Amino acid sequence: MPKFSHPDFTAARFANSRDARFEPAPADGVLPEGFFSTTNLPTYVRINGSWKMPQESRMDAALVLDANAELWAREGRRVKRGEKVAVGIAEDGSEGIYVFAEAFLAHDPTALGGGEFRFMASDVSREKPIDYGVMARILIAERERGYPIWVCGPALVHSRARADMTWFIENGFVGALLAGNAVAVHDIEASMYGTTLGMTGSGETTIGGHGLHMRAINRVRAAGSIAQAVQQGVIASGIMHACVTRDVPFVLCGSIRDDGPLPDVYTDIAAAQDAMRGHAVKATMAILIATALHAIATGNMLPAFVTEPDGTLRELATICVDSSEFVVSKLKDRGTHQAFGVVTNAQDFMHILRLYVERELDARGLTRTAAPAAATTGAGR
Amino acid sequence: MPKFSHPDFTAARFANSRDARFEPAPADGVLPEGFFSTTNLPTYVRINGSWKMPQESRMDAALVLDANAELWAREGRRVKRGEKVAVGIAEDGSEGIYVFAEAFLAHDPTALGGGEFRFMASDVSREKPIDYGVMARILIAERERGYPIWVCGPALVHSRARADMTWFIENGFVGALLAGNAVAVHDIEASMYGTTLGMTGSGETTIGGHGLHMRAINRVRAAGSIAQAVQQGVIASGIMHACVTRDVPFVLCGSIRDDGPLPDVYTDIAAAQDAMRGHAVKATMAILIATALHAIATGNMLPAFVTEPDGTLRELATICVDSSEFVVSKLKDRGTHQAFGVVTNAQDFMHILRLYVERELDARGLTRTAAPAAATTGAGR
Amino acid sequence: MPKFSHPDFTAARFANSRDARFEPAPADGVLPEGFFSTTNLPTYVRINGSWKMPQESRMDAALVLDANAELWAREGRRVKRGEKVAVGIAEDGSEGIYVFAEAFLAHDPTALGGGEFRFMASDVSREKPIDYGVMARILIAERERGYPIWVCGPALVHSRARADMTWFIENGFVGALLAGNAVAVHDIEASMYGTTLGMTGSGETTIGGHGLHMRAINRVRAAGSIAQAVQQGVIASGIMHACVTRDVPFVLCGSIRDDGPLPDVYTDIAAAQDAMRGHAVKATMAILIATALHAIATGNMLPAFVTEPDGTLRELATICVDSSEFVVSKLKDRGTHQAFGVVTNAQDFMHILRLYVERELDARGLTRTAAPAAATTGAGR
Amino acid sequence: MPKFSHPDFTAARFANSRDARFEPAPADGVLPEGFFSTTNLPTYVRINGSWKMPQESRMDAALVLDANAELWAREGRRVKRGEKVAVGIAEDGSEGIYVFAEAFLAHDPTALGGGEFRFMASDVSREKPIDYGVMARILIAERERGYPIWVCGPALVHSRARADMTWFIENGFVGALLAGNAVAVHDIEASMYGTTLGMTGSGETTIGGHGLHMRAINRVRAAGSIAQAVQQGVIASGIMHACVTRDVPFVLCGSIRDDGPLPDVYTDIAAAQDAMRGHAVKATMAILIATALHAIATGNMLPAFVTEPDGTLRELATICVDSSEFVVSKLKDRGTHQAFGVVTNAQDFMHILRLYVERELDARGLTRTAAPAAATTGAGR
């Protein structure tokens, strides 16, 4: 384990320190306003000119100087009325209390918190707030002047998000859609049969439902392509229908999990990568939803930056949505460090993001398609 | 591993079977409409009166009878124009194809699917749709005539859901709130400082922020109780404020993780259980959000049923929201089998649920408080 | 919500019921031996010939008959010495207590527990024990007479499991290895540089390490194939080395995430599927470790059964190892219902499985390679 | 999004740069040894004295200078024999290639990687190796001279780890055990009935099993305490038995989930915290397994450091084991930044850790109890 010596309190930066100030507790279990709240790091308190560590160090405690001039870290509930409690906020010694953070936080290249004791310092967590307002404003800006690429996994179609994804395509927010065979298969099954993998929009399995995705694939294979199936009326709604009717380019990449596959799927993965890359080099924003495979593949191809018209650089906005922290961390561990993680269910993400975009468009008086019957549930037609 | 004999095809139920029907594939890689789509279970096809298993069984394939009268399970893409493909939907032998599901699915008490091969048969999955419309209608009905209890973990307050939870309290949807010290501490820190554990509503940590929850606790301890802190204006907004001002009962149960704790917290866990139970015996619905500890504790106390005024029984609607399948499964594994799992982020759940409830109230002309400035983010005031 | 009427206690099966028996509690908070332990389901107790439900139903409680002949579900700690407590184990009414399980558990095709109230009824959970002894015995049996296929994700190589996987190959337990480009790339990087993605075997990142996997790929591309790289001494150890030197067939399937790819990788996914299928049709056991993509792809191709030499069928042993319940449930939701889930870290799984296999081999006096220096850590040479 | 200007190449540190060096590709799709492997950060290549960015930036590519003196980031597989490829490792400009890492990685206090592009930079991941050898050596050292506290959740007892935990207690590796009611209840149920929550050691549920933990609790309540139950022979094996017979102190903290509780459980959480703290202030190492509640509670009380006999400080070794990254990250987010995360199944962790400790003890000739029949599975006696 790492070892440390105590700080050198003869150093210049401690020259102007003063003794710590103590105030009496106003009641049993109540601390004076402005009490110093401890951390779990080595802490030094200046008393009569010398620096002293408290007994029984812990975080979230008060510093109590007892009648014998002994100093303790003590929970607030255990402090008695009149006991002397250290007050102060500064942790740099200027108010007579020094927290030796650098020793413990600065030696480690992966340490978080910027050299200061903090809570909630981790990078990706379901406990972090999700700022849909900011995302909505970025997306609207990208619609004007950029090329946002969307990279989606099949969870988007299994659930209610299919209608929302269709809305984003129809309203011009999608520069290109990168996905796999399954996204298109589930979407087309939903268009033809109202199910995905035989599961209805309300989550029930259906008798004989396990064959429906195969029937959907077969009908598109018979039509020759997704575009032809749309033109023949075989596919009448949904994500792929919107891409075809709105001329939004899509790339469907094959994988060994594929049933079929659909006629438009790149079965050669080098060809698929080249097709993806054609969009990645133009991308000014990336939204990666519910797919580790496609998200990491796209992250591999994306620069972390965009060159602005004025020649300066900006970070390429990269949003990664997944139900677990793991996929976002894995994406970052593969080098896409700029990704901002949103840990949530894909269908809920899509619904709220669209709601915020709609509000913002309405507030600015920008046009949009009427909201579809948004309260409808499920994958159905 | 379990072993099985083949089915007895001399049994009465097979007496009226007929030979399977085959149709030619209309093109290379395209199957005839109505093709039989295979499962991974033992499958028997009646040809010239006798039952035959295909070679190379697999799911999602077609059954092809080749020129040598050999039967194969074969992927659609590998079928050639004119090859003979079995057609039919029934798996019970009536159309000449029998899937021996019972052998493999019926011997196991934990087997899902009701004795039939199905996809998406698992009980709890982020891939299942979430029917917010149904939940909104149940909740409105419960407001009229029931006693819905809400059991919440601190993730609800860390993030944007604080405003939504407050809205549900203010609009009469909460019979009682059961939570721990941390929910109230984070909520009160947000009211006083605009942060939770020192993290702002947009997810940034703040300098000195690690002490803010301790300062919030201390001020309430000084006030004497949460209700007194509300009356003194020390707590001016949020969940606890709404409970106090709307007379919604709350139970704050202590745990060993607690800082403080706040004065209202039951530190004796038997007393806390008794207080919880006082609400559990009246409950007609339970909504458990982002807490394994409190959800399981409440589940332990809840009957799985409600006795209706007419003396009949109905299932007690129990919704469990968590970011992972594990917590819901664990709740069920502790006996609360009736729980319906929603695998999502707590803040997104709250926001969409409220949106659906608002829509439904508006559609029925029922009153509600004006929506707060819903687009505001974070935990802030 | 589902509704139910009370059971018909005039039915024949209740004809021989008797009144429930009550015994006094021997001390405050202590129940009589043999007390009836409640569930959360509707429960009926026969008292003086008529069936009565307790007040305040809950699970894990005792049934107490108070001085007013009122019946209560009550926690043991609240029962006073001398109070009358129902005794009995049977829940079918035969001892005067009837639990109406069928109403609540039998109406739902996805309900678990086989119509009885149980804890720990879920199918896949990290809380279930893992029986390595059974797995070891199956694996040894398969080595004798079967064709076990191993399907592995890159987590196996990132961590210490590389040495263990190599051991299984060298000792004849692997019929075929199905994996992706990344497994081979990480393995070969470890052989050449002692790192995986630039991370050392002890988890440290290295300066310039991010390029090492690209250098490894390039050297194999220069050699022409993995086999040639082994023959030229460019690859001197590890998983791929063992496959080449022991003539164990492997299939490396391409995906859009691939760097390179290595020369042996199938870049066409239909060709990759055909190659995988060539092994799947021969498989008598499948071990799927730390890969959703390859596990589901393989599951799609596998029958759920094996035909034994005597013509009978047995379930095809299918073990799926992942850090989360989700991947196993997803595999099952895609139809591979026979999969047995092991929720753990891949490297720990491999290490313990090998340990149990070694013990079993030693106990039977079967040969094996000497254990490599098993205490060595990391991916290194 | 953050914006950046290009680096100032007139700065002193670029004064000694030279032009980048290019070498021809030796074959189609094969790069020259020593090729520069790109990142996704802004990259500048010095050609004829001026710094130029490549077209189509991406990571894991080569830098190719084409016949028109245009520079490209290009995948190795697309490079043709004889094309000019940049060579070099340094990213600081000294070899004519400069990666502008600081702009993108240095502005963010939560950025990982220490200002350099790296893979696998995240702090907690199931993909990181677990160094059991190091942990074993630390634990043996702590047995000699320290006070290691173990903080355990019930997953440890549900599964096979019960025997291993007992072994660690019996062999002197446990200074104190901190846990909740459930750990002791499951352990004692296993001792009395061979089940936990009615589940056998091989994972099967048992008829009537749901009441067994209540019967176990009741028998200990009848005995008066765990110690008395051990003395009376009511508890004959396992974790609590070992604590009692080896005089290892334990603290059982109450929670609202508790059935019973057992007589030794602190039902007042402030008293429980005080009891835990009594051990925390002495702790020189902490091992936190499969419990968020108790791990965070303990982390709150622990200093991040130990004062050595020589007055210097060392980091307090803190190991946190959980099936998901989330619990470890949450612990760190609550301030226990020093925690080292092990993402695995608790039972596997215990088994391998013990194996390594046994090996190390044997290698050093230190005594230990004979290994129990280690191949026995389950919770059973």
List all chains that touch chain D, counting a touch as 3 or more CB pairs closer than 8 Å. Answer: A, B, C
pLDDT at position B205: 77
**Cβ pairs A/B, distance under 8 A:** 208
Residues 6+ apart with CB under 8 A from B327: B292, B295, B320
Q: Do C352 and D348 touch (CB under 8 A)?
A: yes
**In chain B, whose CA is at the least distance from the CA of D273?**
B256
pLDDT at position A119: 76
Decide if C297 contacts C286 (C-beta within 8 A): no
Helix residue spans in A179-324 (DSSP H): 181-193, 212-223, 226-231, 239-245, 269-280, 292-301
**In chain C, whose CA is at the least distance from the CA of A297?**
C257
C268-295 average pLDDT score: 97
CB-facing half-sphere around the CA of A285: CA atoms within 13 A = 22
Decide if C60 contacts C38 (C-beta within 8 A): yes
pLDDT at position B104: 65
For chain D, say whether A43 makes contact (Cβ under 8 Å): no
Mutate to test the interface with B, among C134, C149, C281, C313 (most CBs of B within 10 A): C313
Pairing of strands D340-343, D317-322: parallel
- Residue B24: cis peptide before it, omega within 30 degrees of 0: no
Tell me the Ramachandran region of residue C377: left when phi exceeds 0, alpha when psi lies from -120 to 50, beta otherwise: beta
Torsion of CA A68, A73, A77, A78, to 10 degrees: -30
Interface of D with A in 242-301 (CB under 8 A): 270, 273, 277, 280-281, 299-301
How much is the ipTM here? Answer: 0.89
Q: Do C105 and B337 touch (CB under 8 A)?
A: yes
Q: Is residue C373 pLDDT above 70, yes or no?
A: no
Residue D228: CB atoms within 10 Å: 16
**Cβ pairs B/C, distance under 8 A:** 199
For chain D, say whether A4 makes contact (Cβ under 8 Å): yes
Q: Point out the residue among A205, A256, A292 whose CB comes nearest to the CB of C294.
A: A256
Q: What is the pLDDT of residues C214-238, one digit of tens each?
A: 999 999 999 999 999 999 999 999 9
Count the residues in chain C: 381
pLDDT at position B115: 56
Residue B15: CB atoms within 10 Å: 9
Distance, in Å, from the CA atom of D44 to the CA atom of D90, rounded to the nearest integer, reads 12
Element spanning D305, H or E: strand D305-307
**In chain A, whose CA is at the least distance from the CA of D336?**
A40
CB-facing half-sphere around the CA of A252: CA atoms within 13 A = 22
Q: Do C302 and B40 touch (CB under 8 A)?
A: yes
For chain D, say whether A2 makes contact (Cβ under 8 Å): yes
Q: Point out the residue among A256, A268, A270 whose CB comes nearest to the CB of C273.
A: A256
- Enter the tokens of residue B298: 């409440």
pLDDT at position D128: 79
Q: Point out the residue among B352, B359, B378 whose CB comes nearest to the CB of A129.
A: B378
Q: Do B257 and D324 touch (CB under 8 A)?
A: no
Minimum distance, in Å, between the CA of residue A281 and any CA atom of chain B: 31
Q: At what angle do helices B325-333 and C325-333 cross, to 10 degrees?
A: 90
Q: At what angle do helices D132-145 and D346-364 cross, to 10 degrees?
A: 70
For chain C, say whether B97 makes contact (Cβ under 8 Å): no
Low-confidence ranges of chain B (pLDDT < 50): 107-114, 373-381
Q: What is the pLDDT of residues C315-361, one digit of tens each?
A: 999 999 998 888 888 888 888 888 888 999 999 999 999 999 999 99
pLDDT at position A92: 93
Decide if C220 contacts C226 (C-beta within 8 A): yes
**Going residue by residue through chain D (381 aa), what tens digit of pLDDT does each one get?**
778 889 999 999 999 899 999 999 999 999 999 999 999 999 999 999 999 999 999 999 999 999 999 999 999 999 999 999 999 999 999 999 999 987 666 544 444 444 567 777 777 788 877 889 999 999 999 999 999 999 999 988 877 799 999 999 999 999 999 999 999 999 999 999 999 888 887 777 787 789 999 999 999 999 999 999 999 999 999 999 999 999 999 999 999 999 999 999 999 999 999 999 999 999 999 999 999 999 999 999 999 999 998 989 999 999 999 988 888 888 888 888 888 889 999 999 999 999 999 999 999 999 888 765 443 333 332
Torsion of CA D75, D80, D82, D83, to 10 degrees: -50
Residues 6+ apart with CB under 8 A from D76: C214, C217, C218, C221, C260, D29, D30, D31, D35, D61, D62
Pairing of strands D317-322, A21-24: unpaired
Helix residue spans in chain B (DSSP H): 101-105, 132-145, 155-158, 161-170, 181-193, 212-223, 226-231, 239-245, 269-280, 292-301, 325-333, 346-364
For chain D, say whether A138 makes contact (Cβ under 8 Å): yes
Distance, in Å, from the CA atom of B287 to the CA atom of B295, rounded to the nearest integer, reads 9
pTM for the model stands at 0.91
> C319 vs C132, C316, D343, D375, CA distance in Å?
11, 10, 20, 20
Minimum distance, in Å, between the CA of residue A151 and any CA atom of chain B: 17
Decide if B375 contacts B198 (C-beta within 8 A): no
Q: Is residue C74 pLDDT above 60, yes or no?
A: yes
Q: What is the largest CA-CA distance in chain D?
A: 91
List all chains that touch chain B, counting a touch as 3 or more CB pairs closer than 8 Å. Answer: A, C, D
Q: Do A255 and C256 touch (CB under 8 A)?
A: yes
pLDDT at position D109: 41
For chain C, say whether B335 makes contact (Cβ under 8 Å): yes
pLDDT at position D371: 61
Chain C neighbors of D210, CB-CB under 8 A: 37, 39, 59, 117-119
What's the one-letter identity of residue C141?
A: A
Phi, psi (deg, nearest 5) at residue B239: -65, -50
Chain A neighbors of B159, CB-CB under 8 A: 127-130
Distance, in Å, from the CA atom of D180 to the CA atom of D153, rounded to the nearest integer, reads 7
Strand segments, DSSP code E, in chain A are 3-4, 21-24, 43-47, 50-52, 62-65, 71-74, 84-87, 97-99, 148-152, 176-180, 195-196, 199-200, 250-253, 285-289, 305-307, 313-315, 317-322, 340-343
Q: Which residues pair with B313 in a beta bridge?
A: B307, C4
Radius of gyration of chain D (CA): 29
Please choose, from the candidates A168, A152, A41, the residue with its C-alpha nearest in 3D space to the C-alpha of residue A106.
A41
Element spanning B21, H or E: strand B21-24
Q: Do D122 and A333 touch (CB under 8 A)?
A: yes
Distance, in Å, from the CA atom of C162 to the CA atom of B200, rounded to the nearest integer, reads 44
pLDDT at position A126: 81
For chain A, say whether B78 makes contact (Cβ under 8 Å): no
pLDDT at position C269: 97
For chain B, say whether A207 makes contact (Cβ under 8 Å): yes
List all chains that touch chain C, counting a touch as 3 or more CB pairs closer than 8 Å. Answer: A, B, D
Q: Do D313 and A4 touch (CB under 8 A)?
A: yes
Distance, in Å, from the CA atom of D341 to the CA atom of D320, rounded to the nearest integer, reads 5
> A307 vs A301, A316, D50, D52, D96, CA distance in Å?
16, 9, 19, 14, 22
Q: Do C131 and D377 touch (CB under 8 A)?
A: yes
- Residue A261: cis peptide before it, omega within 30 degrees of 0: yes
Please choose, from the candidates B257, B255, B269, the residue with its C-alpha nearest in 3D space to the C-alpha of residue B197.
B257
Chain D neighbors of C159, CB-CB under 8 A: 127-130
Minimum distance, in Å, between the CA of residue B4 and any CA atom of chain C: 5
Please choose, from the candidates B30, B38, B27, B35, the residue with its C-alpha nearest in 3D space to the C-alpha of residue A220.
B30
Pairing of strands B148-152, B176-180: parallel
Element spanning D148, H or E: strand D148-152
Q: What is the pLDDT of residues B34-44, one digit of tens each?
A: 999 999 999 99
What's the one-letter identity of residue A228?
A: Q
Q: What is the pLDDT of residues B112-133, one digit of tens each?
A: 444 567 777 777 788 777 889 9
**Going residue by residue through chain A (381 aa), what tens digit of pLDDT does each one get?**
778 889 999 999 999 899 999 999 999 999 999 999 999 999 999 999 999 999 999 999 999 999 999 999 999 999 999 999 999 999 999 999 999 987 666 544 444 444 567 777 777 788 777 889 999 999 999 999 899 999 999 988 877 799 999 999 999 999 999 999 999 999 999 999 999 888 887 777 777 789 999 999 999 999 999 999 999 999 999 999 999 999 999 999 999 999 999 999 999 999 999 999 999 999 999 999 999 999 999 999 999 999 998 989 999 999 999 988 888 888 888 888 888 889 999 999 999 999 999 999 999 999 888 665 443 333 332
Decide if A32 contacts A24 (C-beta within 8 A): yes
pLDDT at position A116: 66
Q: Point out the residue among A36, A127, A222 whose CB comes nearest to the CB of B159.
A: A127
